[in-house]
Amino acid sequence: MPPDVPIPASWRIALPHSTAAVPIARALIRTALTDIDAPADSYTAELLTAELVANAVEHTDGDEPIELVVELMAAGCQVEVHDRDPSPPGDLSRPAAGSTPDPWQEHGRGLLLIRTLSSSCGHRTTEQGKAVWFTLPAIPAQPSPPTRHARAAE
């Protein structure tokens, strides 16, 4: 993106209430965070977004679209997934008693990943249902490797 084009601070995208929403959401996050050189880890954002979208599709009924809301901040990014079901998700603050994921099952690790890899996460009720969210911190700027000329001067 050219330097004179402002980076959008946030956006909201409607996704289909189907499993097709997961790869769409992954691609949107990957493209958005890498194309505009956002400060957050795009790989982790992509993984956690896919978990939230998959949970919204799997655990809510209806054909109403779900929404992906992304906010870029100097301190990182926040991603929300909105659905029409007001029921809270599983506990995002700590694992439920006896809820250790079975290593032989394909499901059951999403909330663990979100709790572990995000800097914060939670949910809130909305007028249409709920929003489940996570934040990722900014990645510290990495020093540039020395150039060949700088190394030769040493």
Average pLDDT, the chain: 81
CB within 8 A of 132, min separation 6: which ones?
52, 55, 56, 80, 81, 83, 89, 92, 121, 122, 123
What digits encode the pLDDT tens for the residues 62-119? 889 999 999 988 778 899 999 999 988 876 665 555 556 555 555 556 788 898 899 9
Average the pLDDT over 52-66 and give the result: 92
More confident: 53 or 153: 53
The whole-model pTM stands at 0.78
At residue 17 the predicted structure's pLDDT band, cuts being 50, 70 and 90, is very high
Could you give the domains of the chain?
Answer: 10-93+110-140 (3.30.565.10)
For the chain, report the end-to-end CA distance as a whole number of angstroms: 36
Q: Give residue 5's pLDDT.
A: 42
